[in-house]
Amino acid sequence: MGARGAAAVVFRVLTLFWPQLTVLALAWVFGAYALADGAMLIAAACRHRHERRPAAACAAAGVLGVVAGLVTAMWPGLTALALVVVAGVWAIVTGCLELWLATRMRHELRHAWWWRASAVVSVAVGVLLWLRPEAGAVATALVLGVYALIAGGLLLAAWREYRTRTGHGARSWTGPASGTRVAH
């Protein structure tokens, strides 16, 4: 979850700081992001394969991300309209699967609403991209950038809550790591 959130923030930086990207560059950036996101989801599914349904949904979303990334990489000259359709499908399906997962895991995560909020944002962005496909590459870059910022931030917050709750890496940013010596 943390790696996915970080990847979304990196994608946001690239798309928001350079919204005039050509369609080709936007396709490459989106393809790389979708591929990385899909690979991380597949890895998470492998780690949690004993939880059958959540792992299957996670793997399905991961495969979709990998396919979207590979299709974009194989045909980088996609028009803005085709890129909007691919990004919209990916955002809607991934958001629906994440919403289902977050609902299933609501008992394991005290604040699963972070993940649900990220999933709802994903679906909303997919629908927005479909409603306005003629907006062009710059508008698509801005919409995807804002989406990645919001979804990435929500995923990072959910990840931090999970790590704090489970006791994995709950050390403070301001204090020393456990076991470190502090000279006085």
What is the DSSP-derived secondary structure letter of residue 177? P
How many Cβ atoms sit within 10 Å of the Cβ of residue 142? 14
Can you give the pLDDT at residue 182?
45
In a domain, 169, yes or no: no
Domain that holds residue 140: 2-163
Residue 78's pLDDT is 57
pLDDT for residue 175 is more than 60: no
In a domain, 158, yes or no: yes
Q: What is the pLDDT of residue 63?
A: 92
Residue pointed to by tokens 């801005």: 142
What does DSSP assign to residue 171? -
In a domain, 177, yes or no: no
Global confidence as pTM = 0.49
* Count of domains forming the chain: 1
Question: Which range, of 25-39, 56-70, 146-160, averages the lowest pLDDT?
Answer: 146-160
43 within a domain of the structure (yes/no) = yes
CA distance 132 to 130: 6
Inside any domain, residue 181: no
Residue 146 lies in a domain: yes
- Confidence at residue 18, expressed as pLDDT on a 0 to 100 scale: 65
The mean pLDDT value of the chain amounts to 75
Where residue 137 falls among pLDDT bands split at 50, 70, 90? low
Within a domain: 124: yes
When mean pLDDT is compared across 19-28, 35-44, 140-149, the lowest value belongs to: 19-28
Residue 103 lies in a domain: yes
